[in-house]
Structure 1
Amino acid sequence: MTASPRFTRRTITDQVTEDLRARILSGDFPAGFQLRQDAIAGEYNVSRIPVREALQRLDAEGLVTFQPHKGAIVSQLSIDEIEELFEVRKLLECELLRHAVPRLTPADLKSVEDILLVYDEAFRSGDVAKWGELNREFHDRLYRASNRPKTLEIIRMIGNNTVRFTQAQLALSGATDRAEREHHQIFEACKAGNTEEAVELLAEHIQSSADSLMECLRKARE
């Protein structure tokens, strides 16, 4: 286990939740890993109460499940379940982008471009640990202008359940160049105010990511 930060802000439960979530999404805690409350409480130097509350929150997000005789474990998804999540992603994210593009301000576009530059650098340096979070942040910043907070909340939850797989897929498939190129194409269409082109590019981007991931997973599970 990696060293944990010293907690100084927000509630202890918030901080335990955030740190555990980050470690699950990064793959530090892989699918099927048993999250022992006593061990986690000892590592963070807190009581079991905030740990239990944090695990319950992560259960609600779909990242953790509680099993008889095992307690909390990091959720495992079947290939069919992952594929279904990508289908939902494509439907909802395309709708969010359709609403967002006409509302994007120069400040919004600058924010998206800034995160895209950081993402590019992470790709070039091979910083795998950052890919998933930067990918989510790129898409999130595009969608914020949609003024659809409930849909965005659903997308964020789905993202939490797929980012650990897409991050591994990019590393295994070597598809980073394609992903980087597709992100720039989507951004340029948004910048030009071309809603239909941006939505079409996004749909193709999500589908190609899903297809590549499914192929990797099926090979790994044969």
Structure 2
Amino acid sequence: MGVTKSKPNQKSLSYKIRDELRNDILSGQIVPGTRLRQEALAERFNASRIPVREALRQLEMEGLVKTQLNRGAVVAAPSIDDICDLLDIRIALECRAAKLAVPKMTQADIDHLEQILEQYHHSQTPGEWAENNRLFHLGLCEPAKNKQLTALIKLYCMSTSSPYANFHLDMTNATDIKTVNSDHLEILNACKERDVNRVIIVLEQHIQSTKDSLMHYQTPCNKVTQ
């Protein structure tokens, strides 16, 4: 007698739907203001409306989705205050992770960061810059070997270095690509020297500069961030 594979339960299915929708929102595939129709999502994920509704509820708790009267769930347009709050969280999380990670870095970790910066240097579009920037920050933190901390950084790093957050940034004013890469190189060189304090100082200034630019210009634009 063959073994019948059990269907995923409603809870695990809602997590799968949540994760895929979160990725679509943060990557810019689903833009702010887009209506998220439960019936269409249920069809897309071959699910009932129950896990879809739960996934949307979780995304609303994360601030990525909001419920509007007569429209239902829509992708939230992040406010400048929201992004600045997240950048403060990024500073706390990433600096802590860097403090743990730098002493543990192997040559393979350093080579990985160098490869990302090479890709960043040759990027041609805001999307490519944002993705390589995200990979660099995650690559800097992952040698800490702290799964929970890395998971939080993935969430907040993605939230402030994606087309979703870039809705509020002007690439020529808020972010100078050459300056960003210069910061990255300084961080990488400090990692090579195992200079933990220098890494933390530059990393904090690096993220803080995005917050300062946002607060100064406050010009909506779908461009790249730190």
Q: Tell me the TM-score normalized by structure 2.
A: 0.76
Partner of residue 171, structure 1:
171
* C-alpha contact (below 8 Å) 1:131/1:167 kept by paired residues: no
Shift of residue 27 of structure 1? 3.0
User: Which residue number corresponds to residue 46 of structure 2?
Assistant: 46
Larger CA Rg, structure 1 vs 2: 2
Do the aligned partners of residues 45 and 81 (structure 1) sit closer, same or farther apart at CA in structure 2, a change above 3 Å counting? closer
SS class of match (2:122): helix
Q: When the two structures are aligned, how many residues end up with a matched partner?
A: 206
Aligned pairs for 1:167-206 within 5 A: 169=169, 171-173=171-173, 175-206=176-207
- Quote the Cα distance in structure 2 between the aligned partners of 1:45 and 1:203: 40
CA distance in 1, matches of 2:102, 2:35: 42
Task: Note closer, same or farther for the CA distance 1:159–1:41 as it changes in structure 2 (3 Å cut).
Answer: same
Q: Is the 2:17–2:45 Cα contact (8 Å) retained in structure 1?
A: no
Cα offsets for 1:180-219 (capped at 9, x unmatched): 1111111111111111111111011011121123333x24
Runs (4+) off by over 4 Å: 11-19
Whether the 8 Å contact between 2:35 and 2:75 is mirrored in structure 1 is yes
What SS does structure 2 have at the residue aligned with 1:159?
Answer: helix
Contact 1:186 1:202 in 2 (8 A): yes
| Superposed displacement of residue 58, structure 1 | 3.0
Matches within 5 A, 1:11-160: 16-41=17-42, 44=44, 46-49=46-49, 51-122=52-123, 125=124, 127-160=125-158
Secondary structure of the residue that 1:34 maps to in structure 2? coil
In 2, the alpha carbon distance for the partners of 1:19 and 1:88 equals 23
**How far does residue 98 in structure 1 lie from its aligned partner after superposition?**
1.1
Distance 1:61 1:45 in 2: 21
Change (3 A) 1:19 1:119: farther
Give the drift of 1:141: 1.2
**Structure that is richer in helix per residue:** 1
Q: CA deviation at 1:135?
A: 1.5
* Secondary structure of residue in 2 paired with 1:35: coil
The one-letter code of the counterpart of 1:165 is: A
Contact 2:14–2:52 (Cα < 8 Å) also in 1: yes
Q: Is the 8 A contact 1:165 1:213 kept in 2?
A: no
The RMSD of aligned alpha carbons is: 2.8
- Post-superposition CA distance 1:32-69 (Å, at most 9, x none): 33212234455x37345464454344334432233443
Amino acid at match of 2:178: D
Spell out, residue by residue over 1:98-142, the C-alpha distance to the aligned partner (whole angstroms, 9 max, x if none): 1111111111112222222222221xx2x2222223212111111
Taking every aligned residue pair, what percent have the same amino acid on both sides?
A: 33
For 1:32 and 1:116, locate their aligned partners in 2 and report how far apart those are by CA, in whole Å.
Answer: 33
Unaligned runs of 5+ in 2: 1-11, 222-226
| Structure 1 length-normalised TM | 0.77
Aligned residue number for residue 8 of structure 1: none
Tell me: CA distance 1:13–1:117, structure 2 relative to 1, closer, same or farther (3 Å). farther
Distance (Å, rounded) in 1 between the aligned partners of 2:128 and 2:53: 28
